[in-house]
Structure 1
Amino acid sequence: MTLALPALVPVLPTHERWFVESQPAGDWAFFLSPLPLVLTAAVVVVTLVWRTVAMRVDGPELPFLGRLGALVPWIPRLLGIHLGVTLLALASTGAFITPSIDHLGGLGGHALLLVEAALGIWLITGWQLRAAAALVLMLAPALTVVAGWTALGESANLAAVAAFLVVVPPGPDAHGAAHPSRAHLRWALLWLRLGVGTALIVLAFSEKLTNPAMAIDTLERFPALDVLALVGISVSPETFVAIAGATELLFGLLVISGAFPQVAVLVAMVPFNATLLLFGQTEMVGHLPVYGVFLALLVYGSSAQTAGAVRWLPSPRGRRVAVEAAA
């Protein structure tokens, strides 16, 4: 049994800071106005219903995609390549962690870019990726100092991939096939979902729901983003921003929920790929870790052996049982 995503989905998600002048967020008056609040409440309800229904389905929701499950052992290796190419491409363009941070100068800035490029090359090689991924996570303090906490939250998708690789790195053989325990895979997928979901939720607020001015500026510069207008639906810029923010929030919550990953990923890939037509290489490089995560969720969600791990969440009851057993 599957559910159809709501009509919010067609709105194209994009990272405004990559393409227009950054403006500070914090306009909570906009978020607390009726439409954004109603849409946010609707998104939360949809997510809860989505997960509730998904928990009643045993196995992949789209069985015809079962052949994708054959890729399961090589997902850690593919994620390492995605993350490595992203870091190397960003460093080559003078950007640190995200395309919007391209103003680093001086000895310290050049050193950070060099470290970023070196880690990118290391991740692509596939050798000892647990250590490389741990070093990527250690770049978080530098990113916070350079660009602040909001930038750290917006870039949590890279940290998500790195955290996954710390828990489940590629195997030692030439092709990197990994065969983690069930517990390790569950935790790795949880960190993966939490990181990407957090990045999408932070972006929903920092670039839209509490930053309507920057979102409207983006819409004015790139009117093709308004796909509602393309199908003959006319709404005000403020309404469009509220819908776009709710859409990004929905994507983030669905990723965290892990419910119906095959359907969620296939639907999300449509708008995420559509923005490539507008923004090209910058959008592709910036979204490359997200594409890797979508691939991972789709593959793990297509295998009968790993589908349950994709939607797993730790329960307080399970922790109590483990503590009592240890005692």
Structure 2
Amino acid sequence: MRKFVALLIAMVAAIAIRPLTAEAHVKWFTDLHPEKETIANIMSPLFMGLAVLVALVLAVLTQVLPSLSGWKLMQTVDLKLDGLRKYSFLLLKYGLAIAVLIQVLSGSLLVPEFEIQTQLQTILLWTSVILLLIPHHFATKAGAVVILIVCINVTMEAGLFHMLDYAFYVAIAGALLVEKTKLAPWGFPFLYLGTGLSLCWVAVEKWIYPIMALDIIENHGVPTFGFSPDAFVVMAAFIEFVVGYLLVVGILNRVLSLVLTGIFVSTTMLFGITELVGHFAIHIILLIFIIEGVSFYKPPIQMHKKRLDQIVFVSLNFIFTLATIILIYYRFAN
């Protein structure tokens, strides 16, 4: 049984690393005007087949994961990481400060897609950095409020559904705002939720606007490992969506974070400084996920006691979530 679990995890990691070598916010690396694909073309036989396959794999994964907790190596690693949890908020706070500082110095407004256009925006970003660096929780909350103000300002210009790509900034600010309050236990679950949904939303972009991802593959020499570019984009988006989904439902978060961190490092080597500037905050979040695990989070699957009920729940819930986000994105995104 343990060999099977190890093999399954290795396969998931290998599959993830391959297609997601091309993972990035595609809007950062192409000047093409986004053109929506038709629903009929999106729901291709490859897409439908992968959706069913992923649903089944997730169902199996939830059944074999409990055996991991009995491994001595896993218990040792978990114990060491648990001892680092006291630094999680500090890491989130100062990591956000560094991420914003990098954005200011590069002339970007939170992400490379948006440039600083006014002196007020520069002042707000510098103010947030200074407040976040002050070692007091009131200053931290003030810095988080400033970040939220910046997010609202950008959202008013770019649109709500466009900014869902970067929901992780709102999630970070929300987690910092509830520090040392009665709502503090909800801070990291909110961070998981915001980051997971952000990854899911970005993944759907590759299905709705595949022309942009295909342009990146062609112009940046992204390896497709023998797959056609069209099929490669579909698979890459699926893996990215699955990672975001699993972060939300609280399954395998430490392993996922390690895999995803390696992926982001590889994309930084491929796409250069722009990728590093835009995803520094994500690196901090993933590092926190590695430390925190899911000790605070009770996965919804635990509502069901029978294995068959769990398998049905996980499979159908994934299909429902996938369909819902695609339809919302297709209807409202520009």
TM-score by length of 2: 0.77
2:74 maps to which residue? 62
Aligned-pair CA distance for 1:126 = 3.7
**Structure 2: distance between partners of 1:214 and 1:21:** 8
Is the CA contact 2:68–2:74 (under 8 Å) kept in the aligned structure 1? Answer: no
Pair 1:239–1:91, CA change in 2 (3 A): same
1:111 maps to which residue? 120
Aligned-pair CA distance for 1:159 = 1.5
**Structure 2: distance between partners of 1:110 and 1:22:** 30
Deviation track 1:149-183 (CA, whole Å, cap 9, x = no partner) reads 233111011112111112236xxxxxxxxxx87x7
Aligned-pair CA distance for 1:50 = 3.4
Indicate the SS of the match to 1:308.
coil
2:216 maps to which residue? 218
**Structure 2: distance between partners of 1:126 and 1:146:** 33
Any stretches of 5+ residues in structure 1 without a counterpart? 170-179, 302-306, 317-327
1:97 maps to which residue? 110
Pair 1:248–1:18, CA change in 2 (3 A): same
Is the CA contact 1:43–1:249 (under 8 Å) kept in the aligned structure 2? Answer: no
2:307 counterpart of 1:308: no
**Structure 1: distance between partners of 2:105 and 2:177:** 25
Deviation track 1:260-285 (CA, whole Å, cap 9, x = no partner) reads 22221222222111111122322122
**Structure 2: distance between partners of 1:112 and 1:51:** 45
Aligned-pair CA distance for 1:298 = 1.1
2:129 maps to which residue? 120
Equivalent residue for 1:272, pick from 258, 264, 270: 264
1:246 maps to which residue? 238
1:17 maps to which residue? 27
**Structure 2: distance between partners of 1:90 and 1:277:** 19
Pair 1:257–1:45, CA change in 2 (3 A): farther
For these two proteins, the number of residue pairs brought into alignment is 289
Equivalent residue for 1:236, pick from 185, 207, 228: 228
Any stretches of 5+ residues in structure 2 without a counterpart? 304-334
**Structure 2: distance between partners of 1:126 and 1:312:** 34
2:306 maps to which residue? none
Aligned-pair CA distance for 1:310 = 4.1
1:202 maps to which residue? 201
2:77 counterpart of 1:77: no
Say which is worse superposed, 45-54 or 71-80, in terms of deviation. 45-54
Is the CA contact 2:111–2:277 (under 8 Å) kept in the aligned structure 1? Answer: no
Is the CA contact 2:141–2:176 (under 8 Å) kept in the aligned structure 1? Answer: yes
After superposing on structure 2, the runs of 4+ consecutive aligned residues of structure 1 that deviate more than 6 Å are none
Q: Which amino acid aligns with 1:42?
A: L
CA RMSD of aligned residues (A): 2.8
**Structure 2: distance between partners of 1:202 and 1:221:** 24
**Structure 1: distance between partners of 2:67 and 2:74:** 14
Indicate the SS of the match to 2:296.
helix
2:101 maps to which residue? 88
Aligned-pair CA distance for 1:75 = 0.7
**Structure 2: distance between partners of 1:25 and 1:310:** 39
**Structure 2: distance between partners of 1:58 and 1:95:** 43
Is the CA contact 1:80–1:126 (under 8 Å) kept in the aligned structure 2? Answer: no
Pair 1:166–1:38, CA change in 2 (3 A): farther
Is the CA contact 1:197–1:256 (under 8 Å) kept in the aligned structure 2? Answer: yes
Is the CA contact 1:22–1:214 (under 8 Å) kept in the aligned structure 2? Answer: yes
Percent identity (aligned): 25
Indicate the SS of the match to 1:122.
helix
Say which is worse superposed, 15-24 or 42-51, in terms of deviation. 42-51
**Structure 2: distance between partners of 1:55 and 1:39:** 25
Pair 1:253–1:132, CA change in 2 (3 A): same
